[in-house]
Amino acid sequence: MAVSISEICENTKLAREMALTGNYETAGVYYQGVVQQIHRLLTSINDTTRRAKWQQVQQQIANEYEQVKGITNILQLLKADGHLDRPLGGSTSYNFSAFEEPTRDPDVWGPPPPRDPDVWPAPTVVEHKSGTPVRTVRNTRKGGTDTGNKTGTLRGTRGGSTSANKKDAGRNTKGKVEQTPRSARGAKNSDSKDDKEKGDKSEKDGESEGKEEHEEEEKRFDPSGYDRELVEMLERDIVQKDPNIHWDDIADLHQAKRLLEEAVVLPMWMPDFFKGIRRPWRGVLMVGPPGTGKTMLAKAVATECGTTFFNVSSSTLTSKYRGESEKLVRLLFEMARFYAPSTIFIDEIDSLCSRRGSASEHEASRRVKSELLVQMDGISSASEGEPGKVVMVLAATNFPWDIDEALRRRLEKRIYIPLPSNEGREALLKINLREVTLCDDVNLTDVAVKLEGYSGADITNVCRDASMMAMRRKIAGMKPEQIKLLAKEELDLPVSHMDFRDALAKCNKSVSQEDLDKYEQWMNEFGSA
């Protein structure tokens, strides 16, 4: 059976998500599975360059697995030494009450049963999109319990969503071959969808070789004259071919969608019109509480508008490539122009652009910021010369008040991404529960009313929790051996009204009224939707 690349990505994402949320044992199982899948994929690849790249990816996954195994071993040692209280009171049976412990993540199970790596488990609870290529370097300042955050500045208690974990969990392991950026493509929505469908189909049909050969023939950035390693890093980690998020995946936010379409699509369709005073926006800033869908919107722009998507977080620019950062910014824009129409998405831009001269401003980030300003100025003059070859900077922030004035001026369009409306919350529930069976007593309109003040990410958490309640009840008191014998169908139980009630009682909203007031005040002063 042909191995699907999107499945490998999906399972890698799950492995990392499990690792980042502390489920090291489960992560290990997924990692083993991915290594096996790549192994099987390798047997079907004849092209030596492509083989070598996949071997590299396999090695990387194996290394990550080793690291996760290392953590598991340390934890086992600590447990054996009695340093950690056994949450289940020393018993090996699963106790439902253990899930109620306030200090314990209810989603953290004990060790999963060992699995035959050839029998790939279908994830049953967490909804993921298959085939979503994901980035390698992310900062996770937005909150959550990320263990991989080495560089981000944690700020207070803001942003309690787990979205950052999700995002981080999805680090990219794809080889460069799969990430060859598209050359300038048509702006029609159907283009990107067609590409995706074709991609899925050809993978299933075992025709991926042909497709990739075709992509290899596409226009490629010539690295001569540039730091080759940096170019490769950008193509590998930052260029996303098809983020696979569609407008329909995003609930609510109609105005933001319309605005983004207008800012990106129209200039590509009507280049002659978007000249002079009507030149395209060089930058759009999405402002709003964490977990409201800003990153999703950026990905949807790239998917739906068929632009080449450069996905970079401020921490990538300032920390990992310290010393190389200005070069990286320069190259980023150079490549974006080459692959235009392009969207450069800079997440958490505030951490790059804290007010100039402020005590927190480091020399390195000051230089990066200056380079960014220069490059953004360059965008408009370049687009004057070549209308239609649009490069747009799309930035997101949860802390707009921290943004440097010079940069704020260049992010000409500043739009607010609010908490979901009542209608939006219901749509979000429907999106999140697409693959879950609901009991007849569940009224999503009522649930949506109760979720007032919750962000999109909070609502996703509530749905996730509610959809796991029945499973938790089912395995309560069971021994691991018994759980192992349960069929998937026995755990895939419908979600009831009570499950939502319990989940709601456990998951609090992450955005306070005080925060909302602050956003409103900033938007009144600087907003420009």
What 8-state DSSP symbol labels residue 293? S
Which residue's CB is nearer to ligand ADP, number 94 or number 309? 309
Long-range contacts (CB closer than 8 Å, 24 or more residues apart) made by 208-211: 208/5, 209/45, 209/46, 209/47
Q: Which of 140, 189, 186 is nearest to 166 (CA)?
A: 140
Q: What's the closest the beta carbon of residue 156 comes to ligand ADP, in angstroms?
A: 16
- Kindly state the number of chain residues that form the binding site for ligand ADP, as judged by CB under 6 A: 21
Query: Which residue in the set 240, 295, 351, 354 belongs to the binding site for ligand ADP (CB under 6 A)?
Result: 295
Residue type, 180: T
Which residue's CB is nearer to ligand ADP, number 28 or number 131? 131
Query: Which residue in the set 19, 68, 239, 253 belongs to the binding site for ligand ADP (CB under 6 A)?
Result: 253
Which residue's CB is nearer to ligand ADP, number 141 or number 472? 141
Query: Residue 314, interface with ligand ADP (CB under 6 A)?
Result: no
Which residue's CB is nearer to ligand ADP, number 131 or number 290? 290
**Token reading at 134:** 């994901």
Q: What's the closest the beta carbon of residue 290 comes to ligand ADP, in angstroms?
A: 4
**Token reading at 439:** 């009991």
Query: Which residue in the set 126, 364, 431, 439 belongs to the binding site for ligand ADP (CB under 6 A)?
Result: 431
Footprint of ligand ADP on residues 146-185 (CB under 6 A)? 163, 166-167
Q: Which of 463, 471, 470, 465 is nearest to 432 (CA)?
A: 463
Which residues face 347 on adjacent strands? 313
Which residue's CB is nearer to ligand ADP, number 212 or number 347? 347
Instruction: Provide the mask over 193-232, with x wherever binding to ligand ADP is found by CB under 6 A and - wherever it is not.
Output: ----------------------------------------
Tell me which residue has its CB nearest to ligand ADP: 456
Q: Which residues contact 27 (CB under 8 A, 6 or more apart)?
A: 15, 16, 18, 19, 68
CB 455 within 8 A of CB 292: yes
Residue type, 330: R
**Token reading at 517:** 């007031």
Query: Residue 311, interface with ligand ADP (CB under 6 A)?
Result: no
323 C-beta neighbours (distance < 10 Å), count: 9
Which residue's CB is nearer to ligand ADP, number 11 or number 295? 295
CB 20 within 8 A of CB 146: yes
Query: Which residue in the set 112, 143, 267, 293 belongs to the binding site for ligand ADP (CB under 6 A)?
Result: 293
d(CA 238, CA 228): 15
Q: Which residues contact 323 (CB under 8 A, 6 or more apart)?
A: 364
Query: Residue 251, interface with ligand ADP (CB under 6 A)?
Result: yes
Instruction: Provide the mask over 107-146, with x wherever binding to ligand ADP is found by CB under 6 A and - wherever it is not.
Output: -----------------------------------x----
Q: What's the closest the beta carbon of residue 418 comes to ligand ADP, in angstroms?
A: 10
290 C-beta neighbours (distance < 10 Å), count: 28
Query: Residue 390, interface with ligand ADP (CB under 6 A)?
Result: no
Which residue's CB is nearer to ligand ADP, number 32 or number 295? 295
Instruction: Provide the mask over 451-470, with x wherever binding to ligand ADP is found by CB under 6 A and - wherever it is not.
Output: -----xx--x----------
Q: What angle do CA 79, 80, 82 make, to 5 degrees?
A: 65
Query: Residue 294, interface with ligand ADP (CB under 6 A)?
Result: yes
CB 78 within 8 A of CB 84: yes
CB 174 within 8 A of CB 136: no
**What are φ and ψ of residue 342, in 5° steps?**
-130, 155
Stretch that binds ligand ADP, among 33-41, 105-113, 229-237, 285-293 (CB under 6 A): 285-293
Query: Which residue in the set 9, 256, 428, 495 belongs to the binding site for ligand ADP (CB under 6 A)?
Result: 428
List residues binding ligand ADP (CB under 6 A): 142, 163, 166-167, 250-253, 290-296, 396, 428, 431, 456-457, 460
